[in-house]
Amino acid sequence: MKTKTWARPGRPLAGLAILLVVCALGAGLAACGGSGDDGPSPSPADERVTVPDVAADHLLKDQAEAAIKDAGLVPVVQTATSADVPAGGVIEQSPAAGEQVAKSSEVVISVSLGPKMIALPDFTGMTAKEVGAFLDSHRLVGKEIQAQTVKVDKGLCYKQSPGSGDQTAQGSTVTYWVCSGKPVVTVPDLKGMTESQAQAALDKKNLTYAGRKAKYSSTVKKGLVVSQTVPAGAEVVTGTSVEVCLSKGPHSTLLTVPQCVGQQKNDVLPDLRLDGFQNIVVDMIASSKPAGVVVKQKPAAGTRIHPTEQLILSVSKGGGGGGGTLITVPKCVGEQKNDVLPDLRLDGFDNIRTEDVESGRPAGTIVRQIPEPGVKIHPDDPLILYISAG
């Protein structure tokens, strides 16, 4: 009896399934790679673009952003101060113009806020070097002006523009004034002027009228200037105070000045004192007249003066005094007192007087002298030097 063999159920179906999967894979590969000879297609993320130039011409922010976006890139804005690029313009960019970058990359642009503003301090009392150092450190341009002033000492700043506390842009110009010395003026002669005239004369010279005193005078009319505290012709700093003495007119009790010229001093003096003259000044001078003879007087004979008013008698030393020895007064103005005095004493001047006055000249400088250079005087005659107090 023959035995019949049966195939196991399900085996043919499993083989069919495997065959179908292989076919599907083959179709997929064909669709994706064709014959397999070409590479994969590029991704949009790998596309390269050129960075536009927005900094060279300092494009405005909106223009720069538009140019970057048109190139397929993303603008990123930062800000900074700049003394060179106007506000709103592009100072710099990163990446640089012309570089190749991936599409949609960021381009950073620095946009100007305009120049940095600097607050100015008060320069008053600072030296020119100190002011210049401040301006240099803050990228400011300095303009120095030298001028005379009494506000500060020489070499110090006293004025500025823009002013203290003002804001000014980096790169701008700051003007500052430096004292070149104190302005000097010549004191006018006020004698014989009315008070208002004297005050106007002082105002014209930028000097300060310091008020008035008064005294009796038989030679100067009532209300007119008899004397002044700073001598006429002296060089002083503007603003110096000058006081005047006004005449009260002649006193009710008056004495008539006698003729003294030609008389012997020793004969005249006792009589003058007996007559009531209380303020007699004897000035010994070189003269060819015999020693002791009155050669000049002030006031003149016949003038009526108060007993306390000054009566000056110039009396001869005889033969020029000391055998006719006279010394020529040298030029002292402009020299230093400490340099001149030793030389004057060596030259034989025995009656040197000094008087300090306010002046724009350096301290110790001689600003005026009496007598003038070239005058011949006796060694005992007064030589008056007016010295600057600085």
User: Domain spanning 327-388: which CATH class is it, in words?
Assistant: alpha beta
Q: What is the pLDDT of residue 222?
A: 92
Domain ranges of the chain: 53-112, 117-179, 184-247, 255-316, 327-388
The mean per-residue pLDDT over the stretch 7-34 comes to 42
The mean per-residue pLDDT over the stretch 308-321 comes to 81
Q: What is the pLDDT of residue 102?
A: 95
| CATH of the domain spanning 184-247, picked from 3.40.50.2300, 3.30.750.24, 3.40.47.10, 3.30.10.20 | 3.30.10.20
Specify the CATH architecture of the domain 255-316: 2-Layer Sandwich (3.30)
**In a 10 Å sphere around its CB, with 0-12 CB exposed, 13-18 middle and 19+ buried, how is residue 233 labelled?**
middle
Q: What is the pLDDT of residue 144?
A: 96
pLDDT per position as a tens digit, 21-39: 433 444 443 444 444 445 5
| CATH of the domain spanning 53-112, picked from 1.10.645.10, 3.40.190.10, 3.30.10.20, 3.40.50.300 | 3.30.10.20
Q: What percent of the chain has pLDDT over 70?
A: 87
Rg of the chain taking only CA atoms, in angstroms: 52
User: Could you tell me where the beta strands, DSSP code E, fall in 238-351?
Assistant: 241-247, 255-256, 280-285, 294-298, 304-305, 311-316, 327-328
Between 42 and 311, name the one with better pLDDT: 311
Is domain 117-179 classified as CATH 3.30.10.20? yes
Q: What is the pLDDT of residue 219?
A: 83
Q: Is 194 left (phi over 0), alpha (psi -120 to 50) or beta?
A: beta
pLDDT per position as a tens digit, 76-119: 999 998 888 988 999 999 999 999 999 999 999 999 998 889 99
Q: What is the pLDDT of residue 295?
A: 92
pLDDT per position as a tens digit, 264-306: 999 999 999 989 999 999 988 878 889 999 999 999 999 988 8
Q: What is the pLDDT of residue 43?
A: 57
CA distances from 301 to 259, 270, 297, 298 (A): 5, 17, 8, 8
Q: Is the pLDDT of residue 44 over 80?
A: no
Q: Cα separation of 350 and 381, whole Å?
A: 8
Q: What is the pLDDT of residue 7?
A: 39
Instruction: Show the CA angle centred on residue 67, arms to residues 63 and 68, nearest 5°.
Output: 120
CA distances from 207 to 23, 210, 239, 333, 361 (A): 121, 9, 4, 22, 16
Tell me whether the CATH fold assigned to 53-112 matches the one assigned to 117-179.
Answer: yes
Q: What is the pTM of this model?
A: 0.43
Q: Is the pLDDT of residue 318 over 50?
A: yes
